[in-house]
Amino acid sequence: MIDDREFQSLSVDQQNKLLVCLAINSLPVLAKYKLPLEVAKRSIDACLKSIENKSFAAKLISINLNHPDPDLDLSAQYSFIDDDGAAELALDIVSFATGAAANAAYRRQNLDGMPEPVALATPDVTVGAIDKFKTLSKLGLVKDIGQP
């Protein structure tokens, strides 16, 4: 698995692809939580669309981090997982991937008004997804994906 230093050396697009890969591979941890799993999948889908289509609207990615409807808001999903530390790690990974993809899209599209969760999703922060994924791997909840 890639380390923090290697992550920092990747291009933004490569970082985002890695983060989305980690997020996808973390989804099984959320399997017993219907709504959090659905919201996480929708968020990852927006990230994938952004990676495939650089003109995909940044706001369609970032809305997942600050949706006015709590049932559609990724950050609100933590309230549905009780004290499940593994599910929290998986949601963290999805949130990092979403924030990073949205941040890149806002910058690429030269948009003002980047929401705070998106502005905070810099590589210095999102690199934390790697350690969270490694923890899930050590717990046997995800398969180590090696070098994506």
pLDDT at residue 117, rounded to an integer: 92
Full residue range of the structural domain in which residue 126 is found: 11-138
Tens digit of each residue's pLDDT (9 = 90 or more) over 80-106: 998 999 999 999 999 999 999 999 999
pLDDT at residue 56, rounded to an integer: 94
Distance between CA atoms of residues 7 and 118, nearest Å: 19
Q: How many domains does the chain divide into?
A: 1
Q: The tokens of 53 are what?
A: 């289509």
The answer as to whether 73 is a domain residue is yes
Q: The tokens of 9 are what?
A: 């050396």
Closest CA relative to residue 102, chosen from 129, 141, 147, 65: 65
The answer as to whether 68 is a domain residue is yes
Residue type, 74: L
**Token pair 């910058």 is at which residue?**
107
pLDDT at residue 144, rounded to an integer: 75
Distance between CA atoms of residues 80 and 97, nearest Å: 20
Burial 89-128 (b: 16+ CB within 10 A, else e): bbbbbbbbbbbbbbbbbbeeeeeeebbebbeebebeebbe
Read off the pTM. Answer: 0.95
Which residues neighbour 61 within 8 Å (Cβ) at sequence distance 6 or greater? 43, 46, 47, 50, 98, 101, 102, 105
Report residues of the chain scoring pLDDT below 50.
none
The answer as to whether 90 is a domain residue is yes
pLDDT at residue 145, rounded to an integer: 74
Which residues neighbour 56 within 8 Å (Cβ) at sequence distance 6 or greater? 46, 49, 50, 105
The answer as to whether 143 is a domain residue is no
The answer as to whether 5 is a domain residue is no
| Phi, psi angles (nearest 5°) of residue 4 | -60, -45
Q: What percent of the chain is predicted at pLDDT more than 70?
A: 98
The answer as to whether 103 is a domain residue is yes
